[in-house]
């Protein structure tokens, strides 16, 4: 098979592109699974929820909460299902029924 100058260049470019595709990883190999976490801080004997965080694991969620709120006596994180409704946040000045 004979190539004209233009056709040969296109073939080489396509061949290099195919080689690059083989070298890249598939998206499933690098997939990261994120989870929702309810992080709570302990103060004395009481636990106080400080917020919802999206992170890879509980430790990462706790680290993010500590960055925002500072240190506490103890920490815990509970996974929240993605299809769960957002947590109720009290609004300042709102009267309770």
In a domain, residue 88? The reply is no
List strands edge to edge, sheet with 46-55. 46-55, 35-43, 74-80
Distance CA 50, CA 48 (A): 6
Global confidence as pTM:
0.58
In a domain, residue 76? The reply is yes
Domain of 44, in residue numbers: 35-80
Distance CA 43, CA 73 (A): 6
Please tell me the total count of domains within the chain. Answer: 1
pLDDT along the chain (97 residues), means of 10: 48 51 58 90 91 94 95 94 75 65
On whether the CB atoms of residues 53 and 61 are closer than 8 A, the answer is yes
């Amino acid at each position: 098979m004979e190539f004209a100058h233009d056709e040969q260049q296109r073939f080489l470019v396509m061949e290099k592109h195919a080689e690059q595709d083989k070298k890249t990883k598939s998206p499933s190999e690098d997939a990261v699974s994120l989870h929702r976490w309810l992080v709570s801080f302990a103060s004395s004997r009481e636990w106080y929820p400080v917020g919802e965080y999206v992170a890879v694991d509980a430790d990462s969620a706790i680290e993010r909460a500590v960055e925002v709120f500072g240190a506490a006596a103890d920490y815990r994180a509970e996974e929240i299902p993605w299809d769960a409704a957002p947590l109720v946040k009290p609004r300042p000045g709102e009267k309770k029924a």
